[in-house]
Amino acid sequence: MELKLNGEVKVFIFGIKFVRELDKKFFIENNGMKFGTGLSTKLIEIHSGSIVALADVLHCATSTEAKRPALEDIESYLESCDKIEKVFEETLAEIESNNAGKLIARDTKKAMKTK
């Protein structure tokens, strides 16, 4: 997935490094052990329309970029985006089509339907 931020095209990759980056930032801790919950948590928030969660996810998806954009740059882009719904849809589609997120996306969607 690509977006143009501040005149530069940035590549967003939703692979293992992306999931690892999310899990470093968003986790639960139990008995001194950390369990990454980043992707499943953020998927629920994105499905709920959280632009903050979308910004976090997109920022983590730039972890492979040599010149990574700042979170603030992504937030500015999202605030001024004319087709924000399309960005939500494309982000979810990218996660759902990538092996790193496919199963979590499927199970999260299934769990949201049963509640």
Query: pLDDT tens digits for 8-24?
Result: 999 999 999 999 999 99
- pLDDT classification of 113: cutoffs 50, 70, 90: confident
- Residues whose CB falls within 8 Å of the CB of residue 75, separated by 6 or more in sequence, listed in order: 55
* Rounded Cα–Cα distance for residues 60 and 57 (Å): 5
Which tokens hold the place of 73?
A: 């740059």
Strands 8-11, 33-36: pairing is unpaired
pTM of the model: 0.89
Q: How far apart are the first and last CA of the chain?
A: 31
- What's the pLDDT score for residue 115? 58
Q: For residue 22, which of 52, 50, 63 has the smallest C-alpha distance?
A: 63
Helix (H) or strand (E) holding 4: strand 2-5
